[in-house]
Amino acid sequence: MPRKPEPNLTNCVRELRGDTKGMTQQSLADAVSVTRQTIVAMETGTYTPSLALAIRIARVFDCGVEDVFTLDE
């Protein structure tokens, strides 16, 4: 039986950064202990964060993981 393609995980990190007094990619990266390149890759959709990283990002923006990330099926 053929495997279904993995659902796509999208996010609104870029928009949330802009809403948070112009938070930079670097300041978000520092807040969640990753590199700026990780934030860039996540924002462009080439990197899917781990659950732990997704939770840390949601905490920075004081919202739930589901407010930051959406599973497109």
What domains sit in the chain, N to C, each tagged with a CATH number?
Answer: 1-18+26-64 (1.10.260.40)
Q: Please say whether the beta carbons of 19 and 45 come within 8 A.
A: no
Q: 29 with 35: CB under 8 angstroms?
A: yes
pTM to 2 decimals?
Answer: 0.87
Q: So what's the pLDDT on residue 45?
A: 93
Residue carrying structure tokens 């462009």: 44
pLDDT for the residue numbered 1: 73
pLDDT of residue 5: 67
- pLDDT (tens digit, 9 = 90+) per residue, 36-49? 999 999 999 999 99
Give the per-residue pLDDT at 54.
98
The DSSP letter of residue 63 is: S
The predicted pLDDT at position 31 comes to 97
Q: What parts of the chain have a pLDDT lower than 70?
A: 4-6
**What is residue 70's predicted lDDT score, i.e. its pLDDT?**
97
